[in-house]
Amino acid sequence: MFEGKVALVTGAASGIGRETAELYSQNGARVIVSDIDEEGGQQTTDVIQRHGGEAAFVMADVSRPSQCEALIEETLKRFGRLDFACNNAGVTGEQNPTAEYGLESWQRVVEINLSGVFYCMKYEIPAMQRSGGGSIVNMASILGLVAFAGAPAYVASKHGVVGLTASAAVEYGKENIRINSVGPGFIRTPMISDLEEDPEMHAQLVSMHPIGRLGEPQEVAELVMWLSSDKASFVTGAYYPVDGGYLAR
């Protein structure tokens, strides 16, 4: 499906990012795996290569514009083009109500989750223009549409991702660049491993999803694949939840 194409995935050292990178490869794309976690990112790369795919790891902190620029430059240097990008890198931050939320935590979450998406798109879009078009999928969250007490920075950053995605989609649609966002519910990844270790909290999280369980990383990655593919050729500026019915409650 993606033969001859090049995909970039940030936050690809584990969880949704790793699964997305692997699926891009399984569908024929060459993949740039990026993360600040060098060990995890290299593990993702190694898995792809062991299965016959072509991939390279490039370390980048998406909260730093210069590193995002260097990431795209390295992508073009290694593979010559950029067709798909999944801007997935993100952090949760501390759990505190707004008036008690730490300033450093606020800045860190917003810089990674929101500014990082902007920085990446700032350099991804020109690369895609040179390739004749492409598809960008930004990882938002169910909390890009609704609130969650004790997570003001995360909620604000993910709402911002949804709006930023729509704005960029309107700007670049005529240049054959489609830009969409995905809103996962609670997915079984390292990001929520601490919550899952508490049986009471785990049960509470499950109860929020009418489908009766938490999601799996591959279920999010499959949506990213569809949005990247020609099957979604008339889809841009959209927000797609993959949340087991969380938002329908």
What does the DSSP assignment read for 207-223?
A: HTSTTSS-B-HHHHHHH
Query: Is-catalytic flag, 119?
Result: no
**Beta-ladder partners of 134:** 177
- Residue 149: DSSP 8-state: T
Q: What b/e readout covers 17-28, taking b as 16+ CB neighbours within 10 angstroms? A: bbbbbbbbbbbe
Could you tell me what percentage of the chain is helix, strand and coil, using 3-state DSSP and rounding each to the nearest 5? 55, 15, 30
CA distance 216 to 214: 7
- Residue 100: DSSP 8-state: G
Cβ neighbourhood burial of 76 (10 Å; 0-12, 13-18, 19+):
middle
Q: Using DSSP, state whether 190 is helix, strand or coil.
A: helix
Q: Using DSSP, state whether 197 is helix, strand or coil.
A: coil
Out of 24, 119, 123, 154, which one is annotated catalytic?
154
Just list the catalytic residues.
Answer: 154
